[in-house]
Amino acid sequence: MPISTQEVEHRAASDAESIAWVDESDRLLGTLPRAELRERGLIGRGTYILLFNSEGELCVHRRTLSKAIYPGYWDVAAGGMVQGDETYAESAARELEEELGVSGVELTAHEQFFFDQPGNRVWCAVFSAVWDGPLELQPEEVLEARFMPVQQALDESATEPYCPDSVAALLRFLACRDNA
């Protein structure tokens, strides 16, 4: 599947975005372009929004092939990097609207954790929301989306390419919910 000119242009703009740069304790050090954070192995802030419908199914979407990390992977969370002038909550609301066209919903904040893999070092803030309306996918970032039972997504993540950071966010969310 070829990458569109629109996706290439979006990727270039995304790589140039000024992202919150933090240390291993999530203390803000400044801002850097997204591509520089990634290339230097530095830590940024990211948001992970688990979008459920009222039946408890989870929205799972497939990333475009132009994404810098995990291209073409399935993702159990909408979200992205926190810009230098945003809070985690502001970023979560912006990302949910940009990627899936969902706005005006209550975002519930959950925990924050540090995800550390080569090429993806990020302080993660986990949010959840419930939405039964239509999804409006951002074509530069999302190829397709569907709601499915949470267990189905977890089962598929064992055999299909799923974003490991968002799966980690989902597992932590489920563990906290089950222990509450």
Q: Which of 153, 155, 172, 168 is nearest to 74 (CA)?
A: 153
Q: Is 95 annotated as a binding residue?
A: yes
User: Are 59 and 146 contacting, i.e. CB atoms less than 8 angstroms apart?
Assistant: yes
User: Are 156 and 58 contacting, i.e. CB atoms less than 8 angstroms apart?
Assistant: no
Report the first-to-last Cα separation within the chain, whole angstroms: 44
By the 10 Å C-beta count (0-12 exposed, 13-18 middle, 19+ buried), 81 is classed as buried
User: Are 140 and 63 contacting, i.e. CB atoms less than 8 angstroms apart?
Assistant: no
Q: Is 111 annotated as a binding residue?
A: no
Which pair of structure tokens corresponds to residue 119? 């090429």
Q: How many CB atoms lie within 10 A of CB 6?
A: 12
User: Are 120 and 166 contacting, i.e. CB atoms less than 8 angstroms apart?
Assistant: no
DSSP secondary structure code for residue 102 in this structure: -
Residue positions forming the annotated binding site for Mg(2+): 95, 99
